[in-house]
Structure 1
């Protein structure tokens, strides 16, 4: 469950970053030393890995998806 929580947090960070880029042209990588910095690359890689993890395990962890949320009631 800790991995799920961490991946969720990283996806929120990534989503907020894209929101800031879209609305204001502001990228969090500026605060990490720019796009080419090691820290920024690590953050982007972790966000990408979190997205892949969620794609693979989401249905088994999501209570709504387990119950067949998309099925007609």
Structure 2
């Protein structure tokens, strides 16, 4: 193998690995985005529940102070 073809083969391998890594990162990002959006309704419900608990607790504190 001549050194020119070795360099060419190395560059092809490098480009192949770079492309595969980019595809892998894009796939991972898509999966993470799907997971976050699937958890979003649960987070909204949980925050609403916490807000309701805070309101009820505040009302009880006001009644106790009277």
TM class by shorter chain equals 0.3 to 0.5
Structure exhibiting the larger radius of gyration computed from Cα positions? 2
- Relative contact order (C-alpha < 8 Å, sep 6+): which is higher? 1
Give the helix-richer structure, 1 or 2.
Answer: 2
TM-score by length of 1: 0.36
